[in-house]
């Protein structure tokens, strides 16, 4: 049974979904997405933890000069999801760290928009951008039991 927050909102059509590049000013959105991702099974971490703990904070520090890239999906003016790749170094690795030079992918679809294909749309756009940028490998980390695991497996992860 889906939680009330995961029940899709009526009216979102993937054809109406627009993508824009993540901008440095999207830190709050990335912090929120990181908090939602960390709490996919219920609140384990506070929003403040995402800001205060280095192992989480770096997920909200988008740095285009480092090579970071990603997309915000929105319907009208409202963001509905985000996918981003960060080039985190071995000295500050993420949970999905593989090697220096391999970006770590994170995706978050906001509650109410899950189960509608938003995540798949974001994943496809992000992997296409990686290919365009000549990024040959992308890593990610997902906990056992997370519903997003099926999406990642379908994509070849």
Per-residue pLDDT of the chain (157 residues; tens, 9 = 90+): 344 455 555 566 777 789 999 998 899 999 999 999 999 999 999 999 999 999 899 999 999 999 999 999 998 888 999 999 999 999 999 999 999 999 999 999 999 899 899 999 999 999 999 999 999 999 999 999 999 999 999 999 9
Instruction: For residue 41, count CB atoms less than 10 angstroms from its CB and return exposed for 0-12, middle for 13-18, buried for 19 or more.
Output: exposed
The three-state secondary structure class of 98 is coil
Residue carrying the six token digits 């990024």: 135
CA–CA distance, 116 with 141 (Å, rounded to integer)? 22
Give residue 24's pLDDT: 80
Give residue 15's pLDDT: 75
The three-state secondary structure class of 157 is coil
Q: How many CB atoms lie within 10 A of CB 17?
A: 18
The three-state secondary structure class of 125 is helix
Residue carrying the six token digits 């709490």: 39
CA dihedral for 35, 96, 54, 19, sign (positive or negative): negative
Give residue 2's pLDDT: 42
């Amino acid at each position: 049974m889906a939680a009330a927050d995961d029940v899709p909102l009526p009216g979102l059509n993937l054809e109406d979904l627009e993508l824009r590049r993540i901008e440095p000013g999207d830190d709050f959105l990335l912090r929120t997405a990181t908090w939602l991702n960390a709490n996919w099974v219920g609140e384990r971490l506070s929003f403040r933890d995402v800001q205060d703990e280095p192992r989480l904070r770096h997920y909200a520090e988008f740095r285009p000069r480092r090579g970071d890239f990603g997309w915000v999906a929105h319907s009208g003016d409202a963001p509905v999801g985000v996918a981003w790749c960060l080039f985190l170094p071995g000295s500050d690795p993420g949970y999905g760290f593989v090697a220096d030079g391999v970006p770590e992918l994170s995706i978050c679809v906001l509650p109410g928009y899950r189960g509608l294909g938003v995540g798949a749309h974001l994943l496809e756009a992000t992997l296409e951008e990686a290919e365009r940028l000549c990024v040959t490998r992308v890593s990610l980390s997902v906990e056992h039991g997370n519903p997003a695991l099926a999406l990642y497996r379908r994509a070849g992860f």
